[in-house]
A and B are shown apart, each in its own frame.
Chain A
Amino acid sequence: MQKYSLFSLVRHARRHHEGWQRAWRDPAPKKAYDTVIVGGGGHGLATAYYLAKVHGVTDVAVVEKGWLGGGNTGRNTTIVRSNYLRDESSHLYEFSLKLWEGLSRELNFNVMFSPRGVLNLGHTLQDMRDIERRVNANRLNGIDGEVLDTAEVQKLVPAMNCSPDSRYPVLGASWQPRGGIARHDAVAWGYARAADAQGIDLLQNTEVTGIRMQNGKVSGVETSRGFIAARRVGCVAAGNSGVLAAMAGFRLPIESRPLQALVSEPLKPCLDTVVMSNAVHCYISQADKGDLVIGAGTDAYNGYGQRGSFPVIEHTLQAVCELFPAFSRVRMNRHWGGIVDICPDACPIIGGTPVAGLYFNCGWGTGGFKATPGSGYVFADTLANERPHPLAAPFSLKRFETGALVDEHGAAGVAH
């Protein structure tokens, strides 16, 4: 791998930038691999990278039906934080946040992680009680967090309407200074480049059409470019996980729904932190190139269409205009939907399945982007050792049988 540095930039500038190496190869599929990862998004690519880097497993292919990072990795609102309520989930997301902090150096690729702080607003007395509870839980778990009152929130975000006369007045917020945003595409590209450098084959435009099994054990995947044999298969396919599970003959406790987001035209700097509000439902930040990145909710019904319904967008923009009256005349540039895989307890499923050698990492729902490095790390560990990583153990598929759910949805009331 050609190392990126100031010196290489200068060297290549003198040659008119014509000598740069391709960031990753475009190999033809081999007939067999030790491990096949299905899904070339951030989580899948991170899994492949850590398999090679930490566990020395390099006979790996990442099979992607489209292009790398073209699914939810390229469709989210890029928020990174770890202020979850439950011990199980906060440990996992905090582990991930720590990896984010050194990720650009680790991958020799600028993922533009910008810890600019995340505000979760409270609009009712009950919101504020929940925020106090969550911040206290976070601090006990070693995660940074503060409870702010209205004046402190207003000081951080002067553009926000914190007047007591608004329909849902801002009573305060939780504040996680170490949270922030990152460049979503760069995360996929950085992991892809680093995985490729370790000898991992990234197979784009290769759609999995079937999972072949023998005696209850996986033996490979049928793809649009022929059969690929594998000893282990790890599926990291977000919204399409249910389709893959059906190929292997079982069902998941997952429903796939479109989650929408939109960006505005670029503006001058006006918002230097991340603002999230559950009660009025919006989350908003300003990307480095100036556009406002706005996250909406999921559609209330299942869909694979990668586009969302208009009422959800309307609802979110109402909330944005209420919180930021100055944004009411901002024009929106683009809007899109990603298919998220929602579990009943809004927590992921990481680990083995009824089929031996077949592993799933899915169910991240509306909050997977922030978990990309941690998810890849623990899933790689789970695949390499064929047992759940300690951080992943509470998130087994078995919990839907035992009832040991990790109830993040209602308890933390997290907008992802």
Chain B
Amino acid sequence: MLRIRCPYCQEARSEEEFSHAGEAHIPRPANPDASSDAQWGEYLHLRRNPRGPHREMWVHTAGCRRYFNVLRDTVNYEILATYAMGERPADEPEEGAL
């Protein structure tokens, strides 16, 4: 059972209050009409899916209903950081991930 600290509510709550919303920091192509099929397919479908620290989006569905970012280890499920949309985490344990 994960306990996730919502950066807006400032409280650690059970994972059942939250919904996972996929990998974080995937920029939408600035001009979709100009992107090739390969670029658009990459944006839509390709994911890092790392074994280890992973940046992902969560939404506090049963709380403030706002989206935020989580840095979580996908092997031992430890939550290394949670941070608001548009922010960078205080400590970045992996380089070149974003």
- In A241-268, the 8 Å CB interface with B consists of 242-243, 246, 251-256
Which residues of B in the span 48-65 have a Cβ within 8 Å of any Cβ on A?
48-51, 54, 56
Q: Are A303 and B20 in contact (CB under 8 A)?
A: no
B46 at the interface (CB under 8 A from A): yes
Interface residue? A240 (CB, 8 A) = yes
Asked if A18 lies at the interface with its beta carbon under 8 angstroms from chain B, I say: no
A209 shortest CB reach to chain B, Å: 13
Flag whether B91 is at the interface (Cβ < 8 A). no
Residue in chain A with minimal CB distance to B70: A301
Contact between chains at A304 and B51 (CB < 8 Å): yes
B20 touches A401 (CB 8 A): no
Bitwise, A116-130 to B at CB < 8 A (1) or not (0) is 000000000000000
Query: B38 contacts the other chain (Cβ, under 8 Å)?
Result: yes
Q: In the complex, which of the residues A254, A302, A303, A311 has the most CB atoms of chain B within 10 Å of its own CB atom?
A: A302
**A253 to B37 Cα, complex, angstroms:** 15
Contact with B along A24-67 (1 / 0, CB 8 A): 00000000000000000000000000000000000000000000
Asked whether, in the complex, the Cβ of A304 is within 8 Å of the Cβ of B74, the reply is yes
- Size category of the binding interface on chain A: 20 to 34
Which A residues are in CB contact (< 8 Å) with B38?
Answer: 401
Which residue of A has the minimal Cβ distance to B48? Answer: A251
Question: Which residues from A are CB-within-8-Å of B31?
Answer: none
Asked if residues A309 and B51 are in contact (CB atoms below 8 Å), the reply is no
A402 in the interface (beta carbon within 8 A): yes
Are the C-beta atoms of B76 and A305 separated by less than 8 Å? yes
Complex Cα spacing A253 to B42, Å: 8
**Interchain CB contact under 8 A, B20 and A301:** yes
Contact A254 B47, CB 8 Å, known A309-B15, A401-B38, A403-B37: yes
Q: Which of B1-17 contact A (CB under 8 A)?
A: 1-2, 15-16
A231 to chain B, nearest CB (A): 27
* B45 close to A240 (CB less than 8 A): no
User: Which residues of A (301-317) have their CB < 8 Å from a CB of B?
Assistant: 301-305, 309-311
B75 CB within 8 Å of chain A: yes
Q: How long is the Cα–Cα vector from A34 to B15 in the complex, in angstroms?
A: 48
Beta-carbon contact of A400 and B46 below 8 Å: yes
- Complex Cα gap A246–B76 (Å): 20
Kindly provide the distance from the CB of B41 to the nearest chain A CB, expressed in whole angstroms.
4
Residue of chain B at shortest CB distance from A253: B45
Q: Measured between alpha carbons, how far is A300 from B22 in the docked complex, in Å?
A: 9
Tell yes or no: A344 within 8 A of B by CB. yes
Q: What is the bound-complex CA distance between A302 and B22, given in angstroms? A: 9
Q: Please tell me if the beta carbons of A246 and B16 are within 8 angstroms of each other in the complex.
A: no
Task: Give the nearest-CB partner of A344 in chain B.
Answer: B45
Once the chains are docked, how many angstroms separate the CA of A197 from the CA of B37? 46
Q: Which B residues touch A400, using CB under 8 A? A: 41, 44-46
Given contacts A253-B45, A255-B49, contact A311 B16 (CB under 8 A): yes
Asked whether, in the complex, the Cβ of A309 is within 8 Å of the Cβ of B49, the reply is: no
B74 touches A305 (CB 8 A): yes
Asked whether, in the complex, the Cβ of A254 is within 8 Å of the Cβ of B74, the reply is no
Question: Contact: B20 with A300, CB < 8 Å?
Answer: yes
User: What are the 6 closest A-B residue pairs judged by CB atoms, nearest first?
Assistant: A253-B45, A242-B49, A301-B20, A401-B41, A251-B46, A400-B45
- Could you give 21 example pairs across A and B, Cβ below 8 Å? A240-B51, A242-B50, A251-B47, A252-B46, A254-B47, A255-B49, A256-B49, A300-B19, A301-B20, A302-B49, A302-B74, A303-B74, A303-B75, A304-B74, A305-B75, A309-B2, A400-B45, A401-B41, A402-B37, A403-B37, A403-B41
A residues with a Cβ closer than 8 A to B are 240, 242-243, 246, 251-256, 300-305, 309-311, 344, 400-403
